[in-house]
Amino acid sequence: AQTVTQSQPEMSVQEAETVTLSCTYDTSESDYYLFWYKQPPSRQMILVIRQEAYKQQNATENRFSVNFQKAAKSFSLKISDSQLGDAAMYFCAYRSWGVAAGNKLTFGGGTRVLVKP
Amino acid sequence: EAQVTQNPRYLITVTGKKLTVTCSQNMNHEYMSWYRQDPGLGLRQIYYSMNVEVTDKGDVPEGYKVSRKEKRNFPLILESPSPNQTSLYFCASSPGQVGSYGYTFGSGTRLTVV
């Protein structure tokens, strides 16, 4: 079974600065998907960014980018030019490639991001 | 608007009193799933459904039931709730075919069992 680990329970960043959230995962599969979700105080789960494991190029979405290291099984999220609205819980998630896996998302424990004005 | 609708948003109940949390999606998604969120553990899958009348257990199914009689609805049933089922629950849906789809999540149900 796959596992996802987020080793930083909480991170603090100054507004306009950059913060990097760590995520490592354990899998024996070669094809899979990785995601970062944001959960603000409203509790809504918002997809921030996704990465297909077969793609070597790191995904980017505006101020959000990832550093995907397949061999190291690492998938970190970088938030640039942090804004007050970025304050939230962030979850890293893994999804297997095949339909037989049931489309399950396996989540890490989460990292809370605090943004200081 | 494409969405997953969960109700209720908050629920306080007593041990042993059966309850149902409803979930409905308007995107014609084949796949639906229930997760529970607990501090430090992230979200864990309870049950999932690949299509109508097709359901299966996730990682933490004990104490829960589900049904999928219609494509759009996927209710979560707690026959005899216990305090260890106090948690934040999410329903989610996605297209059935394989792809880098994220999930569309409902807004969550905060359940407290006393």
* pLDDT digits 0-9 by tens, A21-31: 999 999 998 88
Q: How big is chain A, counted in residues?
A: 117
**Which residues of chain B neighbour A37 with C-beta distances below 8 Å?**
102
The per-residue pLDDT of chain A, averaged, comes to 93
The pLDDT, as a whole number, for residue A100 is 59
Interface mutation vs chain B, best among A21, A39, A45, A66, most B CBs within 10 Å = A45
pLDDT grade, residue B108 (50/70/90)?
very high
* pLDDT digits 0-9 by tens, A68-84: 999 999 999 999 999 99
* pLDDT digits 0-9 by tens, A14-58: 999 999 999 999 999 888 899 999 999 999 999 999 999 988 899
* pLDDT digits 0-9 by tens, B35-87: 999 998 999 999 999 889 989 999 999 999 999 999 999 999 999 999 999 99
Are residues B56 and A102, on separate chains, in Cβ contact within 8 Å? yes
* Three-state secondary structure of chain A: CCEEECCCCEEEEECCCCEEECCEEECCCCCEEEEEEEECCCCCCEEEEEEECCCCCCCEECCEEEEEECCCCEEEEEECCCCHHHCEEEEEEEEECCHHHCCCEEECCCEEEEEEC
Q: Would you say A89 and A3 are in contact if contact means Cβ atoms under 8 Å apart? A: no
For residue A62, what are the contacts with CB-CB under 8 A and spacing of at least 6? Answer: none
**Which residues of chain B neighbour A102 with C-beta distances below 8 Å?**
48, 50, 56, 58
Which of A 41-80 lie inside 8 A of B, CB atoms?
42-45, 47, 50, 52
Q: How big is chain B, counted in residues?
A: 114
